[in-house]
Amino acid sequence: METVALVSSYDKEDMASTKVLHSCTILTHRIITNRLHILFHFTVTLLLLYYRISHFFNGNSLPALSWALITISEIIFTFIWCLTQAFRWRPLSRTVSIDEIPANMNLEGLDVFVCTADPRKEPTMEVMNTIISALALDYPPEKLAVYLSDDGGSYITLYALKEAFAFSKRWLPFCMKYRIKTRCPEAFFSLAKYEELSITDEFSAKKDELEMKYNLFKRNVEKICEDASNYVVFDRPAHAEIIHGDTYMDGNENDEESTKMPLLVYVSRERRPSKPHRFKAGALNALLRVSEKFSNGPYLLVLDCDMYCNDPTSARQAMCFHLDPQMSPSLAFVQFPQMFYNISKNDIYDNQARSAYRIKWQGMDGIRGPSLSGTGFYLKRKALYGSPNCEDKHPSEVQRTSGELMKFSSEEEIAILKEAKLLASCNYERNTKWGEEASYLLHCRGWTSVYLCPTRPCFLGCTTIDMKDALVQLVKWSSGLLQIGLSRFSPLSYGVSRMSILQSMCYGYFIYQPLYAIAFLIYGIIPQLCFLNGIPLYPKVLSPWFVVFSTVYLSAIGQQLHEVLSDGGTTLTWWNEQRIWVIKSVSGSCFGCLDLFMKWSGIKKTTFRLTNKAVDKDKLEKYEKGEFDFQGATMFMIPLSALAILNMACFIGGLGGIILRRNYEEMFGQIFLSLFIMAVSYPMIQGLLRRSKKEKQ
């Protein structure tokens, strides 16, 4: 491994001080291994495709349609595999030294955006814990502003936000006094050990007092949620409210109450059934416009409503890159990994996304940076308005570059709130480009990004614990990404002319990954039907060509297994990843492709499917035991169930023919494939049997 130290220089009062803020480690050993494997695997894959195509045109294999379809599926696998190799070309890792940031450094303003939409599916207390943890970031409070977008327009959320701020006025001084790292109240009070704190009688007494206040706050919010008659208002005007600003300070009770607090603003944009909504992208766009009128922080932190700040120093860690004069001019954002606190030991749904955050994002970081994950990134506001070399600013940007929070008189506050409501209206979205451009256009314009994966997770969220919610997410992503891939913004056409081929390939992988559904459907139908009818699709076991096919398979499996084991995983981790990859491709990605087709054909309009983040005890118990939960996902399971039943029927029927014909060598490949599909679909078969047993009872 090669480590490169990156240095930043600052001039303060004619004194130049040089500080090492971050370093970069090029993973040389992994690079060499990856490139050797790419050369080997690509060569063998070309031989496999040569066998398929040459035998098709020679007319040696019948029926031709089956041969052509299986060839198409293998071309799709090869195409996506080629795109994947861009992630393995030049991986690197980074570290930061926040202690080297000068104490007198004038940090610029930071605006935190949090979006929520429905208190029933996104528990209000989880949202409030995220807000409180954001208010408690280790950042100058006069430079920090937190904005909550409530797309449900719920009085529950507004009430809870006011209660959360009242609690945070006591919580923040406690965190600062005792240097608490876990500043999410729910997480802190759940700790078995209180970090490396010095436990004194004073600390214990204060902690107990705050825990009582937090439980009271929690009961009040839960009570109003239970008594609510209306959770979401779908037809409403825009509303903006300053929960706390400079004129809202209350420091009369005691010294702790006079602690400076960040700006906190509630925004509920206008929503009309007849007007375009644009979902989360529209909510973020509204926050972007509204925040310009209040704080206009040069940097933005975007968080999911259930993704709380687990390390208060994350902002300073990001600034180690944004403050670097050599890197900053072209740096758009710093991306942190999306990690979860409720992942089970078995992780049957691969919620930790190990391949993405341990392999792919590190790989993209070596070629001008990772893509936006949707949460946990520190973005330079200027990057949204043009290219790195463009000096022009957004027309509405006010003349404040430091992000200092403005002080308003009562009349000014009324005027600014009125303007904020206008900026959050539906009419402002009309005939504008807000929400239409994909995030990868930042890289197309010449911006770069950075991926930082510190030892202590900076952000922790709540992941899905059943198949339904996991697949709902996948359908949304698959449909949206594939839509970009088939438009003029495709990374293999629009992107490749504006950024490097490797970076275009990375984006191409994310966008064209739903095509796995087509390849898996073909592989789940054609070989099985041919097996039933005694038609071989693979070479004989003793043929040299069989070595080619088996080498391609073992090479791909071996690489993935090596990556899992070298990352501290187990063979069970590898198998869970393999299994859920196939299951999600055949179900979620399949419906994503279908969803896109229906949109294009005009059969169906775009709808917003909100992932349910409320925790069900029964589902949680199944998840902890490693049992798949298909409740509510019956529709998604139709393709997988059909393929599992077809595979079993064809396997049983085809075995008789093999015994009679004794052509084991010709059919070995299809026998192995059928057994593999049975192993993958075992949770599905088990679920069907359990449901049948319950119905009989």
Give the 3-state secondary structure of residue 212.
Answer: helix
Give residue-wise pLDDT tens across range 466-514: 888 788 888 888 888 898 888 888 999 998 889 999 999 999 999 999 9
- Return the pLDDT at 630: 80
- Return the pLDDT at 250: 42
Give 162 or 440, the one with higher predicted confidence: 162
122 is in an annotated binding site: yes
Quick check: 434 pLDDT over 80?
no
- Return the pLDDT at 9: 40
- Return the pLDDT at 136: 97
For 116-145, what is the mean pLDDT? 95
For 648-652, what is the mean pLDDT? 94
| Minimum mean pLDDT range among 122-136, 195-209, 634-648 | 195-209
Quick check: 357 pLDDT over 80?
yes
Per-residue 3-state assignment (H helix, E strand, C coil) for 97-111: CHHHCCCCCCCCCEE
- Return the pLDDT at 537: 93
239 and 334 in a single domain? The answer is: yes
Query: Cβ–Cβ contacts within 10 Å for residue 357, how many?
Result: 19
pLDDT band at 245 (very low <50, low <70, confident <90, very high): confident
280 is in an annotated binding site: yes
Give 162 or 635, the one with higher predicted confidence: 162
- Return the pLDDT at 233: 86
Quick check: 397 pLDDT over 50?
no
Quick check: 186 pLDDT over 80?
yes
Quick check: 407 pLDDT over 60?
no
In angstroms, rounded to a whole number, what is the distance separating the alpha carbons of residues 45 and 76? 12
75 and 183 in a single domain? The answer is: no
Give the position of tokens 């006094």: 177
Q: Percent of the chain scored above 70 by pLDDT?
A: 84
Q: Is residue 597 part of a domain?
A: yes
265 and 338 in a single domain? The answer is: yes
Quick check: 606 pLDDT over 70?
no
Specify the pTM: 0.89
Q: Tell me how many domains the chain contains.
A: 2
Give residue-wise pLDDT tens across range 551-583: 999 999 999 999 999 988 999 999 999 999 999
- Return the pLDDT at 411: 62
Q: Is residue 11 part of a domain?
A: no
CATH number of domain containing 170: 3.90.550.10
Q: Is residue 6 part of a domain?
A: no
151 is in an annotated binding site: yes
In angstroms, rounded to a whole number, what is the distance separating the alpha carbons of residues 24 and 422? 45
118 and 79 in a single domain? The answer is: no
pLDDT band at 16 (very low <50, low <70, confident <90, very high): very low
Q: Is residue 354 part of a domain?
A: yes
288 and 318 in a single domain? The answer is: yes
If phi > 0 it is left, if psi is from -120 to 50 it is alpha, else beta; for residue 629 that is: beta
pLDDT band at 130 (very low <50, low <70, confident <90, very high): very high
When the pLDDT of each residue in the chain is averaged and rounded to a whole number, the result is: 85
For 680-690, what is the mean pLDDT? 78
Q: DSSP labels for 569-590?
A: --HHHHHHHHHHHHHHIIIIIH
Q: Is residue 531 part of a domain?
A: yes
Quick check: 418 pLDDT over 80?
no
Give residue-wise pLDDT tens across range 274-328: 776 677 888 898 999 999 999 999 999 999 999 999 999 999 999 999 999 999 9
75 and 145 in a single domain? The answer is: no
In angstroms, rounded to a whole number, what is the distance separating the alpha carbons of residues 126 and 167? 15
Q: CB–CB of 92/30 below 8 Å?
A: no
Sheet holding 239-244, edge to edge: 239-244, 263-268, 144-150, 110-116, 299-304, 377-380, 331-335, 448-451
Q: Is residue 199 part of a domain?
A: no
Quick check: 431 pLDDT over 70?
no
280 phi and psi angles, rounded to 5 deg: -65, -40
457 and 548 in a single domain? The answer is: no
- Return the pLDDT at 685: 78
Q: Is residue 390 part of a domain?
A: no
For 50, how many CA atoms within 13 A lie in the half-sphere containing its CB? Answer: 8
377 and 514 in a single domain? The answer is: no
In angstroms, rounded to a whole number, what is the distance separating the alpha carbons of residues 608 and 619? 24
- Return the pLDDT at 188: 94
48 and 141 in a single domain? The answer is: no
439 and 491 in a single domain? The answer is: no
296 and 426 in a single domain? The answer is: yes
Give residue-wise pLDDT tens across range 70-100: 999 999 999 999 999 999 999 999 999 999 9
For 594-604, what is the mean pLDDT? 80
For 523-538, what is the mean pLDDT? 94
Q: CB–CB of 305/147 below 8 Å?
A: no
Q: Is residue 122 part of a domain?
A: yes
Segments forming the whole domain that contains residue 369: 109-192+210-247+259-385+406-463
In angstroms, rounded to a whole number, what is the distance separating the alpha carbons of residues 277 and 270? 9
Quick check: 401 pLDDT over 50?
no
Quick check: 422 pLDDT over 80?
no
For 56-63, what is the mean pLDDT? 69
- Return the pLDDT at 381: 94
| Minimum mean pLDDT range among 92-106, 235-249, 620-634, 642-656 | 235-249
Q: Percent of the chain scored above 90 by pLDDT?
A: 56
568 and 658 in a single domain? The answer is: yes
**Whole-angstrom distance between the N-terminal and C-terminal Cα of the chain?**
61
